[in-house]
Amino acid sequence: MLLLSLLVVLPSSLAVCYASGTDVLPLLIPTPLAINAALSVAAFIATLQLIPALSSLFVNAGLFGMDLNKPIQNRVKVPEALGVICGAVYLICLFFFIPFPFIENLPDDVAEPVSDALLLHDGDRAAANAAYEALVVLHNEKNQRMFRSFLGALLSICCMIFLGFADDVLNLRWRHKLMLPTIATLPILMVYFANHGVTSVIFPKFAMPFLPSFMLQSDQTVFLGPLYYVFMGMIAVFCTNAINILAGINGLEAGQSIVIAISIAINNAVQIFLIQDADVQNHLFSLYLMLPFIATTAALLWWNWFPSRVFVGDTFCYFAGMTFAVVGILGHFSKTLLLLFIPQVLNFVYSLPQLFHLVPCPRHRMPKFDPATGLVGNSHAYFKMSELSGVGRIIVTTMRIFRLVTYKELSQQDYVLALAAEQASKTGADLGKGRAEATTLPKPEPQPPATPRATRALKRNQPPHQSDDASSSASKPEEPIIQMSNLTLINFSLMLTGPQKEGQVTCNLLLFQAVCSGIAFFIRYYIAAWLYRDV
């Protein structure tokens, strides 16, 4: 309670002092960015304390899961959707921060030199005062535009946290989940429209000659008009779902979000302090949102790291994705943002055959736990080639040839044994109302199918149905059942390394995320110079 009281009283007191022009405050906290950093530290401590204190409430409400990548005797009810606490503290932190960037008057180092120059030029004090007032008006208008953008960003993030928590409680279908980021993006898009935000983008030099003349605004910018809002909406949908798809093991959702957030903050700092970008305010705006996010997510990661004591839930995935989308849109560095999502883009592309059901897709595709060794390995999808479309067969064959998946042909007996082995590692998983993070495995048929005729249910790993035509079974050979690793980056990394401890898998993927951030910076600051006139 003392910590929460300080979180309320201290920022309020600082805001009053800052607004009154007290000289003591700049000595203690010289800039809004420093105030934001101080609030972020308080948010980290508050999140670290609140998560264990409130976890029992989630379990009592039925919001829990069983960590299936642990031995059966060690499985306990793990509270789920704790990302809502992280998001709530994040919003409270930024609510207290709202006044600081917007209550200062026109800086003296801007106003006084201009006023003095006018006085020295012709001695007209009235003209100097008028110029000064014009600068004040322009400064206040810029502050108001940024203020509206800041509130719009908070509203979109708040909506996304609410809708994400609704998804955790209601367990919505995927087609409904795609609508949630679109709805939550509306506030920021409407504020962007009200602020008359730019609707043009910088294109590579080699592409400019191929574009129609009516779209060209200059030698490097292209006018998109309403399509720009579609582009921004698609960024929000991609960011939220990209993190949600690359998930399923302890610490991965929060860990990848921290790596991306730190990379964004580094990019902002480079633009502000080293390159001294002319659009400094946009990068400051991004830092204002990123520092509290890093702090609260670090506290959540502390409890979500292997062995996890809480699950972050879809709430956090949506919250993190929307926060990244907001800073990319309002900070005007959406292309750089997408570069920082290289692992998520690779995972999305790799997963497309299962996401579009060209290849059978289980409900959950997390790795399979081996209770004998305590290691996690590939999880699998089971199907017959005859059940796939022509495109699906081409995809599976191509992936098998280039060794992008594990591929094995099973007899019906081997198929039953494989399912039994996977089921053994999941025994005792589904308890109470809590949603277990696991693949729901089918009950194998004791008898082999009489014919290779299968049903649509096979696409959900259901065993093939038996045929009533006994004569056809004697004339046709039994078609093998394909065992193929699920198409996720997690399973692909396990295919390369072999079974590992779950914590080691998370470390490998976070290291890959960090390496990809380095590649993104190399592209952004070196390769881009060959493609764009202004980097």
Per-residue pLDDT of 225-267, as tens digits, reads 888 899 999 999 999 999 989 998 999 999 999 999 999 999 9
Is the pLDDT score of 448 beyond 70?
no
> Are residues 328 and 192 in contact, defined by beta-carbon separation less than 8 angstroms?
no
Please give the residue that has the higher pLDDT: either 489 or 439. Answer: 489
- Specify the range with the lowest mean pLDDT, choosing from 362-371, 382-391, 398-407, 414-423: 414-423
Give the pLDDT confidence score for residue 24 in this predicted structure: 38
CA dihedral angle for residue 94, residue 95, residue 96, residue 99, rounded to 10 degrees: 100
Is the pLDDT score of 520 beyond 60?
yes
Give the pLDDT confidence score for residue 362 in this predicted structure: 87
Q: How confident is the model at residue 343 (pLDDT cuts 50, 70, 90)?
A: very high
Please give the residue that has the higher pLDDT: either 448 or 125. Answer: 125
Coil, strand or helix: which one is 408?
Answer: strand
Tell me: the pLDDT tens digits for 354-383?
999 999 998 778 899 988 888 999 999 999
Is the pLDDT score of 6 beyond 70?
no
DSSP letters, 252-266, are HHHHHHHHHHHHHHH
Is the pLDDT score of 180 beyond 60?
yes
- Alpha helices by DSSP H, listed for 201-279, are 226-245, 252-269
For residue 367, what is the DSSP state?
A: P
Tell me: the pLDDT tens digits for 64-104?
998 888 888 778 899 999 999 999 999 999 999 998 888 76
Give the pLDDT confidence score for residue 206 in this predicted structure: 73
Above pLDDT 70, what percent of the chain? Answer: 76
Distances (CA, A) of 175 to 179, 185, 460: 7, 17, 17
Give the pLDDT confidence score for residue 429 in this predicted structure: 40
Above pLDDT 90, what percent of the chain? Answer: 50
Give the pLDDT confidence score for residue 219 in this predicted structure: 66
Mean pLDDT, all residues of the chain:
81
Is the pLDDT score of 522 beyond 80?
yes
Q: Residue 326: CB partners within 8 Å, gap ≥ 6?
A: 153, 156, 157, 188, 289
Is the pLDDT score of 2 beyond 60?
no
Candidates 133, 277, 235, 141; CA nearest to 196 is 141
Q: How confident is the model at residue 19 (pLDDT cuts 50, 70, 90)?
A: very low
Please give the residue that has the higher pLDDT: either 472 or 72. Answer: 72
Burial class (CB in 10 A: 0-12, 13-18, 19+), 307: middle
Among the ranges 110-124, 351-365, 466-480, which has the highest mean pLDDT value? Answer: 351-365
Is the pLDDT score of 524 beyond 70?
yes
What's the average model confidence in pLDDT over 297-312? 96
Tell me: the pLDDT tens digits for 128-179?
667 667 766 666 777 788 888 999 999 999 999 999 999 999 888 877 777 8
What's the average model confidence in pLDDT over 184-206? 84
Report field, pTM of the whole predicted structure over 0.85 = no
Give the pLDDT confidence score for residue 277 in this predicted structure: 60
Is the pLDDT score of 500 beyond 50?
yes
Give the pLDDT confidence score for residue 255 in this predicted structure: 97
Measured from the Cβ of residue 349, the count of other Cβ atoms closer than 10 Å reads 10
Give the pLDDT confidence score for residue 74 in this predicted structure: 78
At 340, which amino acid appears? Answer: L
Is the pLDDT score of 322 beyond 90?
yes
Distances (CA, A) of 421 to 363, 379, 418, 439, 502: 19, 11, 5, 13, 19
What's the average model confidence in pLDDT over 52-71? 91
Is the pLDDT score of 309 beyond 90?
yes
3-state secondary structure 413-474: HHHHHHHHHHHHHHCCCCCCCCCCCCCCCCCCCCCCCCCCCCCHHHHHCCCCCCCCCHHHHH
Report, in angstroms and rounded to the nearest whole number, the Rg of the chain calculated over CA atoms: 27
Give the pLDDT confidence score for residue 124 in this predicted structure: 60
Q: How confident is the model at residue 11 (pLDDT cuts 50, 70, 90)?
A: low
Is the pLDDT score of 278 beyond 70?
no
What's the average model confidence in pLDDT over 495-516? 96
> Are residues 210 and 269 in contact, defined by beta-carbon separation less than 8 angstroms?
no
